[in-house]
Chains A and B, each alone.
Chain A
Amino acid sequence: MSNMRSLTFDAIIIGGGGAGMRAALELAKSGKKTAVLSKVFPTRSHTVSAQGGITCAIASADPEDDWRWHMYDTVKGGDYIADQDAAEYMCSEGPKAVFELEHMGLPFSRFDNGRIYQRPFGGQSKNFGEGGQAARTCAAADRTGHALLHTLYQNNLKNNTTFLNEWYAVDLVKNANGDVVGCIAMDIETGEVVHVKSKATVLATGGSGRIYASTTNALINTGDGIGMALRAGVPMQDMEMWQFHPTGIHGAGVLVTEGCRGEGGYLVNKDGERFMERYAPNAKDLAGRDVVARSMVMEILEGRGCGEHGDHVFLKLDHLGEEVLSKRLPGIVELAKTFAHVDPAQEPIPVVPTCHYMMGGIATNVHGQAIAQDAEGNDHIVNGLYACGEAACVSVHGANRLGGNSLLDLVVFGRAAGMFIESALNEGIEYLDANEADIETAMKRITRWNESEGGESVPALKRELQNIMQNAFGVFRQEDNMQKGVQQLAELRERIAKAHLPDKSGAFNTARVEALELDNLMEVAEATAIAALERKESRGAHSRYDYPDRDDVNWLKHSMYFPAEKKVGQRDVNFAPKTVDMFEPKVRTY
């Protein structure tokens, strides 16, 4: 152990996606000794796959637009368990963060007057739901995530950020007081394992859609930050809340942006009926994603699905014309041709609800500080640990995220975390150093894999995990099925703990990375399953056949999953925005 190399930083940011790189940019500008540690070269992060845009009241499409309307939509979209102080912060700070991106060079599409192009997205309204559909999603064609991620990487280059590219964070290191004081990380190219010491450790590791068999998520989305935090004893908030995006390409799982419907596309069943008119008479195809996804599943279950097996519906775009498709949705045309073998200018795209986004994660305040709870249910800060982006649950998305709000979340809260850490470092942070035993604890799991001599293979176990989640924790859920799922996961955990890594070599050992990722998928899956079983109501993305109604008496709360006991508690939702009146929970219709 003592011969292990160590690196020391003021702040280490784990994850090189939008949130991590936005935080890093803030810190690089401050002159603090900062590094971004990413398991892939930063522009390969999953932010690159975001298509439709970044939702923000910049008052371009509508000069009268108001961030408060956006906040209202966000809180309603989240089925009232979004924290209203956080939603207020995101929606009011948003324009500043978006204009900064434009100033950095992000190639937004434009209106004739030269301002940023905005398109309608689901769940958007004017005047607190009273003024009809809004167009609030700022777009760079249908490649907004790519444009955003590259712009952030470019500006980090400009500001000389240190990058540890193709490094994999294995586990957090805690000192004797329980403060997070860095991590154990592996240089993938050589296999060298290093102790990274830091006064601030930021988990910006993104989502974990790969716990499901069918997902829009990249192969790298394995919940590494969530796994690390859970193993360090940090509780997870609202892990039962998983968004199923209405339009994943059937069979491939590849995302087709909601912007297709924003530009005028719509869903049809096998009879050619525009069925969303029945489920959401006002917003129709632009209702909340949870509502649209459920409606699609209902159509399929009731025998009105399309195709030989009646297992999908169609997204119709041909009426938009070549001009709109090539100008506004060029990436979608490409993806549809590649993965569905259809030209959307001629034929509809076969789509099905597909796991897309983790609303839950590490509970944080608006500064990105991680929050845990004591035995009495009181919040306390986890010293040294921060989270932002999809890995965090700040919570602006509540039980269902609105389209375009994830990119806004990651730039606003990446920036906020960066600013807060800079001032905290200026004020001075001193934590006790980790001792040998602390480091050994963090090394336990990689040592286990390195010493494994036999056992089951990683890919087979991963597939089993994904199938359990897909079958028991999908769009609709019910008690008996979830019970069974939880039990299967418990057995699977035992087997994963004895699984085998045959390749023990150092250089670019992707099998070792995949083994370490499997542990994280396991942590995320179990937290999801146990929280889903516990929340006995239907709210947002969490829909139960056995508890079909929202229960504001018992469940107008965040869930908190505690890994040591594998028990679920509750945490209060914030209803105290600073500058506006709070939005009272209402029946949610579109």
Chain B
Amino acid sequence: MSKLQVSLYRYHPETDSAPYMQEFQVDTQGRDLMVLNLLEMIKEDDSTIAYRRSCREGVCGSDGMNMNGKNGLACITPLSAVVKNNKLTLRPLPGLPVIRDLVVDMGLFYKQYERIHPYLQNDTPSPAIERLQSPEERDKLDGLYECILCACCSTACPSFWWNPDKFVGPAGLLQAYRFLADSRDTATRERLSELEDPFSVFRCRGIMNCVAVCPKGLNPTRAIGKIREMLLANAT
């Protein structure tokens, strides 16, 4: 079996004037490793390669990267799912500034998350026990709260590439809807009024790259559609 051809995006701000691709040949011994395991193998020989990782099971969202052109989590992406013609190209998530190698500056992404006030707001006094919520009301949060903030979706979104400062992006909007949909949240009006402008929500063109890449199988486009409906209903 021939060795896997890995092409890796390299950039070190202290020594490189421009990024470049470095080639590696890796003997996987025929095993269907996760992409993260492959990176670990390469890093054992070249410790200068930088990438983020933590849980290695797809729940912490650290290792979002672009693998043969598609964003995903390295730790839950088996080689068999991405390698084509025995070749794998690994790049940082697109659209965000690169700090080093596969590590991007997530600042803009987090800023858009913070902008939607991602916490429950309820202006009634807290009861002595929990606030009650029916299973049907709780079901409305499924497909929303599971987001792991890996940024695979927003960095695959052309609208976010174009207006990362003004368009909230799929991840932020998914969370905006998570709180709009929560029967315990009382700030619906304020939340909607902050999203009314032409950019925050309406820059979404329904391209659905977000849905195609979400490693958790979530559907930000649908959530954005729901927010639009609420905004339109609110306006009439």
Which B residue sits closest to A220, measured CB to CB?
A: B54
Which B residue sits closest to A335, measured CB to CB?
A: B57
**Which of A36-44, A232-240, A388-396, A563-571 interfaces with chain B?**
A36-44
Q: Name the interface residues of A446-469: CB closer than 8 Å to any CB of B.
A: 457-460
Partner of A104, one of B119, B132, B148: B119
CB distance from B67 to the nearest CB of A (A): 15
Partner of B119, one of A45, A107, A158, A189: A158
Q: A43-B149, A507-B100 are in contact. Are A219 and B138 (CB under 8 A)?
A: no
Interface size on B, residues (CB 8 A): 54
Contacts of B134 in A (CB 8 A): 110, 112, 114
Asked whether A2 is an interface residue with its Cβ less than 8 Å from the other chain, the reply is no
Residue with the greatest number of chain A CB neighbours at <10 A, chosen from B12, B44, B56: B56
Partner of A154, one of B57, B99, B100, B119: B119
Contacts of A507 in B (CB 8 A): 12-14, 99-100
- Is B146 a contact partner of A143 (Cβ separation < 8 A)? yes
Asked whether A545 is an interface residue with its Cβ less than 8 Å from the other chain, the reply is no
Asked whether B15 is an interface residue with its Cβ less than 8 Å from the other chain, the reply is yes
Q: What's the A-B contact tally at a CB cutoff of 8 Å?
A: 149
Which B residue sits closest to A47, measured CB to CB?
A: B60
- Is A154 a contact partner of B58 (Cβ separation < 8 A)? no
Chain B positions 103 through 121: 1 when the CB is less than 8 Å from some CB of chain A, otherwise 0: 1001000100010011110
Q: Name the interface residues of B138-168: CB closer than 8 Å to any CB of A.
A: 138, 141, 145-146, 148-149
Contacts of B128 in A (CB 8 A): 99
- Is A218 a contact partner of B60 (Cβ separation < 8 A)? yes
Contacts of A116 in B (CB 8 A): 130
**Which of B20-28, B45-53, B194-202 interfaces with chain A?**
B45-53
A357 to B172, CA, bound (A): 34
Residue with the greatest number of chain A CB neighbours at <10 A, chosen from B61, B101, B138: B138
Which A residue sits closest to B62, measured CB to CB?
A: A44
Chain A positions 13 through 47: 1 when the CB is less than 8 Å from some CB of chain B, otherwise 0: 00000000000000000000000000011011110
Asked whether A365 is an interface residue with its Cβ less than 8 Å from the other chain, the reply is no
Partner of B44, one of A254, A459, A505: A459
Partner of A103, one of B110, B126, B137, B145: B126
A502 to B128, CA, bound (A): 57
Asked whether B133 is an interface residue with its Cβ less than 8 Å from the other chain, the reply is yes
Asked whether B208 is an interface residue with its Cβ less than 8 Å from the other chain, the reply is no
CB distance from B44 to the nearest CB of A (A): 5
CB distance from A54 to the nearest CB of B (A): 12
CB distance from A208 to the nearest CB of B (A): 14
Q: Name the interface residues of B73-100: CB closer than 8 Å to any CB of A.
A: 76, 99-100
- Is B59 a contact partner of A49 (Cβ separation < 8 A)? yes
Contacts of B135 in A (CB 8 A): 109-112
- Is B62 a contact partner of A105 (Cβ separation < 8 A)? no
A271 to B58, CA, bound (A): 33
- Is B129 a contact partner of A99 (Cβ separation < 8 A)? yes
Contacts of A444 in B (CB 8 A): none
Partner of B145, one of A60, A107, A114, A514: A107
CB distance from B155 to the nearest CB of A (A): 15
- Is B47 a contact partner of A502 (Cβ separation < 8 A)? yes
A49 to B75, CA, bound (A): 14
Q: A154-B119, A507-B14 are in contact. Are A254 and B130 (CB under 8 A)?
A: no
- Is B57 a contact partner of A102 (Cβ separation < 8 A)? no
Q: A103-B126, A147-B145, A507-B14 are in contact. Are A157 and B55 (CB under 8 A)?
A: no
Asked whether B184 is an interface residue with its Cβ less than 8 Å from the other chain, the reply is yes
Partner of B59, one of A146, A158, A503, A514: A146
CB distance from B110 to the nearest CB of A (A): 8
- Is A511 a contact partner of B44 (Cβ separation < 8 A)? no
Q: A43-B60, A107-B141, A508-B99 are in contact. Are A102 and B131 (CB under 8 A)?
A: yes
Contacts of B13 in A (CB 8 A): 507
A98 to B179, CA, bound (A): 20
Which B residue sits closest to A51, measured CB to CB?
A: B59
Q: Name the interface residues of A489-517: CB closer than 8 Å to any CB of B.
A: 502-503, 505-511, 514
- Is A46 a contact partner of B55 (Cβ separation < 8 A)? yes
- Is A218 a contact partner of B14 (Cβ separation < 8 A)? no
Q: A157-B114, A508-B103 are in contact. Are A105 and B132 (CB under 8 A)?
A: no
Partner of B50, one of A41, A220, A459, A510: A510
A158 to B57, CA, bound (A): 29
CB distance from B209 to the nearest CB of A (A): 22
Q: Name the interface residues of A301-357: CB closer than 8 Å to any CB of B.
A: 331, 334-335, 338-339
Asked whether A133 is an interface residue with its Cβ less than 8 Å from the other chain, the reply is no
- Is A43 a contact partner of B57 (Cβ separation < 8 A)? no
- Is B47 a contact partner of A109 (Cβ separation < 8 A)? no
- Is B60 a contact partner of A506 (Cβ separation < 8 A)? no
- Is B55 a contact partner of A48 (Cβ separation < 8 A)? yes
Contacts of A48 in B (CB 8 A): 55, 59-60, 148
CB distance from A334 to the nearest CB of B (A): 8
A45 to B72, CA, bound (A): 19
- Is B47 a contact partner of A503 (Cβ separation < 8 A)? yes
Contacts of B44 in A (CB 8 A): 457, 459-460
Which B residue sits closest to A43, measured CB to CB?
A: B149
CB distance from A235 to the nearest CB of B (A): 29
A254 to B58, CA, bound (A): 10
Contacts of B126 in A (CB 8 A): 99, 103
Contacts of B182 in A (CB 8 A): 105, 107
- Is B53 a contact partner of A505 (Cβ separation < 8 A)? no
Contacts of B117 in A (CB 8 A): 158
CB distance from A191 to the nearest CB of B (A): 9
Asked whether A155 is an interface residue with its Cβ less than 8 Å from the other chain, the reply is yes
A539 to B12, CA, bound (A): 51
Contacts of A154 in B (CB 8 A): 118-120
A331 to B185, CA, bound (A): 26
Asked whether A275 is an interface residue with its Cβ less than 8 Å from the other chain, the reply is no
A427 to B73, CA, bound (A): 48
Which A residue sits closest to B132, measured CB to CB?
A: A114
Asked whether A115 is an interface residue with its Cβ less than 8 Å from the other chain, the reply is yes
- Is A46 a contact partner of B132 (Cβ separation < 8 A)? no
- Is A43 a contact partner of B61 (Cβ separation < 8 A)? yes
- Is B62 a contact partner of A40 (Cβ separation < 8 A)? yes
Contacts of A157 in B (CB 8 A): 114, 118-119
A155 to B119, CA, bound (A): 6
Q: A338-B76, A505-B14 are in contact. Are A115 and B130 (CB under 8 A)?
A: yes
Contacts of A108 in B (CB 8 A): 130, 138
- Is A457 a contact partner of B47 (Cβ separation < 8 A)? yes
CB distance from B216 to the nearest CB of A (A): 8
CB distance from A333 to the nearest CB of B (A): 11
- 14 pairs, CB–CB < 8 Å, chain A vs chain B: A43-B61, A104-B119, A107-B138, A110-B138, A114-B133, A115-B132, A140-B145, A146-B148, A189-B99, A218-B54, A254-B56, A459-B47, A502-B48, A508-B101
- The 7 A-B pairs with the shortest beta carbon distances in the complex, nearest first, are A105-B120, A114-B132, A154-B119, A511-B47, A102-B130, A508-B100, A44-B60
List 4 extra interface pairs beyond A45-B54, A108-B130, CB under 8 A: A44-B54, A46-B55, A107-B182, A254-B57
